[in-house]
Structure 1
Amino acid sequence: MQIEETPLLGRNDDPGRLTIDITVPYAEVKWAQILHSEWERQARDWVMPAPALTLPRRTNGSYRIRMQMTRMADLVVQDMYSEEVAGHCRWDDQVIAAFQLRGNSRLAVASQMNSVGAGLVCVTRSASTWDWEVGCGARLAMFALPASEIRFPRKQRSITAQQDSAAARMLLAHLRSWADVNDDLSPAASWAARNAAVELLHGLLNDQVIDDAEFSASLARAAMELIDNRLLDRHLDPRSVADFLFVSTRTLHRAFASQATSVMGYVRERRLDRARMELMSTSLTVSEVAARWHFTDSSHFIKAYKKRFGELPSALPRGTG
């Protein structure tokens, strides 16, 4: 795959941008001291401490790291080039999306190791400490945003996708366009661009994970269990189910695509099942049962009942309560 080398961050004269460019000889005994002091000098206006780095042992050549970072609303977007290096840092309550434009990277979060090659994008959920390493000549485009903004599938801390997918291309193109005009945007326009980036990231996550048959089946089962426990809730609908399960309504609907019914179809079927049980075991009237299970009126209930069970409610043996 041909990796695009277009700079992510557009103009270099943006006052809201930080550029760090450091070169340290591998053979320099005090390389760590030089790197950290130079980092602090260049990043002083951002109050951003240098990460803990480990360089490979070499006697020739120099290590170079070059980073451009731009604050856009509450996101930090970063374009980074680095020679081979390892390190760790803290990104509390953050989600990091990293586009591997060239080279290879490895990222360990909560004991889960992810290896990311050129042409992939890895989206990783927050943890207190991140251990990472990049290969020689690696180039990445990354952005971080508050973890509370992103709904991950349950039990997953990271998702990897192809950069040439339509969702990934749209997200990266949006970030590039936004970064290029960021300094000229009003606060309202900047936040609108930020919200669009969040939605595009959700689109990328949803497109990726919903193709996982195991996840799709698990999500459908979890939704059905939730629905079974909330059938009396008048406001039960796909949005409320999706919000409870931390997925989008689109993801929920796609998970039900392999089922014999839709989300609301399942709700209606289970309400009819419960209504049938009540008609057989209580003295409630058809109208009372229909209202209790949120059918618009008794005629609508009777029609739906006959379609599901092949008979009218009046054919049931009635309970005495």
Structure 2
Amino acid sequence: MDSTAPGSAPRGLDVFRRGWETQVGDDVFQLPAFNPDTTGDFRVKGNVAKVHGAAIADLHAASATRTADVPGGDQDLIAMYVVRSGSWTLGGPPGYGDQTVPTGQFLVRHLGRLTAFDTTAHLTAKFLVLPPSELKPLLGNRVITGPADSAEMRLLTALTDMIHATVADLGPAGVLAAQNTLIELTKAVVKGRFDDVEPRMAPALAQAAKDLADRRLADPELSPTMLARELNVSVRTLHRAFAAVGEQVTAYIRHRRLHEARLVLAAPSGRVSISELAAHWQFADGSHFTRAFKKHYGQTPTEYARSTGAASLVPNPHPSGHRLAESA
């Protein structure tokens, strides 16, 4: 759904609403009426996946939005808001004040009816709606908030990204399984812990570890131990999760580092030395890097750079270091 494209205005809201109703439908979440003050410049795009009785929306709002003061309409669902940038202010139930979800935070609550909300411009957020049967007894009237980068939220985010990438290829049983895993991980968010021996968690745990590793590839502390600590699991559990998807943690880190080094070698204006690449991507020295690179790609770094005609390897600026090591 995208109402930000040129020519969408002034029908931006209509474009977005039509996309939502086509892809999700009112049976999961009914879009409320919006305040006319914000419909004239309604620039919002989203990637939405319907997962059985649940839905996931990754939203990017270029313009501020605001609903009508009393949207009306009964709902019975669990809603989660995960804000990466901007803020999302939610109308509270009678007797409670508004609740704002700021950058880097999440909020989970039960919705018995549609409530007013407004979002800032330049909002980036994830919005989940889930069936209430298993979650409502756990939540009750509580509103759960916390950091969007908690261990449980990392797993849930990884799972939603996986669902977005694969849901179109899933059969009915796969879609139902995806919904059930969403519910289990939402329970973990509410409880502040998850069952690390639950087999359904393994793919999400492995993906969350990969996402975290990808952001810290140049960190000398990156290791299975560090990833396990950040995700609040044992190292054994992390290895078991990778094994379940046919991979190894250390091999994943090494291959991703080699991939990034290869991109540097292919850069048009790159001028690097073997020792610089080795040090940056946390290989013991130039010889170890060269051997690993050749084993993975079938060429030494120098051979690969020459074959691309892009980057040029320069002698190591430190006389005591390795100078374009070409060990087999």
| Structure showing greater Rg | 1
Larger RCO, structures 1/2 (Cα 8 Å, 6+ apart): 1
State TM-score, norm by structure 2. Answer: 0.49
State TM-score, norm by structure 1. Answer: 0.50
Structure with more strand by fraction: 1
